[in-house]
Structure 1
Amino acid sequence: MRSIAYSSTGPSSVLQLVERDVPDPDPGEVRVRIVVSGVNPTDWKARVGVGGPPPFPEVVPNQDGAGVVDAVGDGVTGFAPGDRVWVFLAAHERPTGTAQEFTVIPAGRLVRLPDAASFDVGASLGVPAITAHRALTVHEGGPTRLHPDALEGRTVLVAGGAGAVGHAAIQLARWAGARVITTISSPEKAALATAAGAHHVVNYRTDDAAAAIRAIAPDGVDQVVEVSPARNAALNAKVIANHGSISVYATDGGPEMTLDVRHHFSLNARYQFLLLYTVGDAALAAATEDLTRALEDGALPVGEEAGLPLTRFPLERAGAAHDAVEAGTVGKVLIDVG
């Protein structure tokens, strides 16, 4: 089978197209024929060595993807050859991700893909959608699960609504009944956020963002899905409601932020930091179950008309796909494998 692999960290040129034997699943594992592989920032960051040297002699990158079950190991129930699935955390603490024609992963890291959902949708879930789900379910007053009306009466602010996590957060919050505001940096990104389902968009480069958000939500926003805490801490302080929560999933803009502690005391505000890789099995299971329901409701489409443009590369150009994500390509970068 064709695989993309690297043995040392570095630029995208370390990614090499190689031929490898098709692996057999061990007990508790499933072999999946990958149709589409999704690329996330975490994939290129691991490749360049942000977390240290490669943890295995050879690594096949990419956490997310979608495809068809090809074989199941002993003890696996609930999956059979031919099932359409999406996979997540395929390369977490394992040497083989989704940038190859077949991958073997624990059964707990794949989810049935409803017939109405395309492989592109499946490959776009994983890290972004599970992160968005977690960000929307850590509020002091709940809910801990998402479903229609779960966020009824809430106002959610999504920072960076044109990104992959922001896009998923808009879709999920809208599906769950929230009023959704998002901040963007251009008219083009405003159009994407609106297509994703945002009720209101605020251009933080041309508008007084705090005043614009307060005009929409005079009592403040209940929940913030935050990609850039360093840049947005002051804005969040101006717009967060009493007992509001700010869910931080990235460090765009720098790793440190400054807070007025007394101000946040007075609002009973909560900052919740979250990292998908250490969030725990219970949170992952809750997210995949709720995402399945959202998929069945048709709530998570992708493509430019749905607010998430797709940029595609063939498997042999996986390095270019990584470069595109590192360069900040708007939307989702996919690799066609099958």
Structure 2
Amino acid sequence: MRAAVFRRPGPAAEVLEVVDVPAPEPGAGQVRVRMVTSGVNPTDWKGRAGLTSRRPDGFQVPHHDGAGVVDALGPTVAGLAVGQRVWVYLAAYRNRYGTAAEYAVVPAARVVPLPDSASDDLGACLGVPALTAAHCLGGVPGALEGRTVLVAGGAGAVGHYAIQLAARAGARVAATVSSAEKQALAEKAGAAHVVRYTDGDAADRILELAGPVDRVVEVAPMANLDLDLRVLAPGGTIATYAADETLTLPGGPLMSANATLVFALLYTLTPEQTDAAVRWTSQALAAGALTALPVTTYPLERVAQAQDAVERGTVGKVVVRL
């Protein structure tokens, strides 16, 4: 099969190559998927660049997310069928065969049916972003009904799905963005109120439009903490999925608000937490409540450019089409 691989960490153009490798065979509890689309996330380029502790064992096919068709089932796999359309998540986690190849072998638990109503590009856009959003929202849609949610970075991939999942769950959704282009994306996703955080009165505007916020889905905790605490309702929660920097926390205001600060990383969720996020995402997908962001596509031969585009912060989603 044709596959993108890297054998050591480094710049995309230097270490990524597209080569022929033997197609993997599924073992017990595994599924082989003929990939159609491969979604690119920030975690993918960071892993290739060496910003994480894991190093390739011989070679690594990158990318966690994607959509395709079940090609073969390993022993003990139930609930999936050859020829079935699926989306996959965390394919490259502790696994050599990610989705940037003609075939990927993935643990069956990370392979999810893709409804006929959903495109392959949409399937490739789920995975890490949608599951992270579902977990940051608490994992239980019923708990959001009638509540107010603020999504920081509402035009990003996690923000996009946080808006859509929260709105479907019956929450009032506000979002912050940095530009008119991103405001249009957040509004299209379903945010009732969109505020540019570059405006000096952003917190006042959020309170005016949406009232006190019960839960914040936060992409930049240090930059936005003062705003979050100004709008947070007593007993509210700030859930952040991007906290690479050192955090200095104002203990007094956090205690005064009886606030809960939650850190979310998809890799280390419990199986129960992951199952809850997958279930919520799948239900929303089947109901037609999830959409893809604007998609920029690359062929497999240009996978290095695709990763560089994500690293540069391309608006929307970057997808490699097989």
Both proteins in one fold, TM over 0.5? yes
Pairwise CA distance, 1:27 = 1.1
Q: Secondary structure at the match of 1:111?
A: strand
Aligned residue number for residue 23 of structure 1: 24
Pairwise CA distance, 1:77 = 0.6
Q: For each residue in 1:170-196, what CA deviation from the matched residue of structure 2 results, as whole angstroms up to 9, or x when unmatched?
A: 010111111111010011110010000
Alpha-carbon distance in 2 for matches of 1:4, 1:271: 38
Alpha-carbon distance in 2 for matches of 1:186, 1:92: 34
Give the paired residue count: 321
In 2, are the aligned partners of 1:233 and 1:258 still within 8 Å (CA)?
Answer: no
5+ residue gaps, structure 1? 138-143, 303-307
Pairwise CA distance, 1:53 = 5.5
Aligned residue number for residue 267 of structure 1: 257
Q: What is the CA RMSD across the aligned residues, in angstroms? A: 1.1
In 2, are the aligned partners of 1:234 and 1:259 still within 8 Å (CA)?
Answer: no
In 2, are the aligned partners of 1:114 and 1:292 still within 8 Å (CA)?
Answer: no
5+ residue gaps, structure 2? none
1:113-124 superposed matches below 5 A: 113-124=114-125
Any runs of at least 4 consecutive aligned residues in structure 1 with deviations exceeding 6 A, and if so which?
none
Alpha-carbon distance in 2 for matches of 1:54, 1:96: 14
Aligned residue number for residue 141 of structure 1: none
1:334 aligns with 2:294: no
1:256-335 superposed matches below 5 A: 256-302=246-292, 308-335=293-320
1:6 aligns with 2:32: no
Alpha-carbon distance in 2 for matches of 1:330, 1:168: 15
Q: Secondary structure at the match of 1:94?
A: coil
1:95 aligns with 2:70: no
Aligned residue number for residue 233 of structure 1: 225
Amino acid at match of 1:332: K
Q: For each residue in 1:23-55, what CA deviation from the matched residue of structure 2 results, as whole angstroms up to 9, or x when unmatched?
A: 111111110000000000000000000113624
Alpha-carbon distance in 2 for matches of 1:257, 1:238: 18
Amino acid at match of 2:81: A
Amino acid at match of 2:8: S
Pairwise CA distance, 1:207 = 4.2
Q: Secondary structure at the match of 1:51?
A: coil
Aligned residue number for residue 145 of structure 1: 140
Alpha-carbon distance in 2 for matches of 1:217, 1:299: 22
Alpha-carbon distance in 2 for matches of 1:53, 1:16: 19
1:26-175 superposed matches below 5 A: 26-52=27-53, 54-137=55-138, 144-146=139-141, 150-175=143-168
Pairwise CA distance, 1:289 = 1.3
Pairwise CA distance, 1:21 = 1.5
In 2, are the aligned partners of 1:233 and 1:257 still within 8 Å (CA)?
Answer: no
Alpha-carbon distance in 1 for matches of 2:120, 2:30: 21
Pairwise CA distance, 1:225 = 0.1
Amino acid at match of 1:85: V
Amino acid at match of 1:3: A
Pairwise CA distance, 1:230 = 1.0
In 2, are the aligned partners of 1:86 and 1:111 still within 8 Å (CA)?
Answer: yes
1:179 aligns with 2:179: no
Pairwise CA distance, 1:263 = 1.7
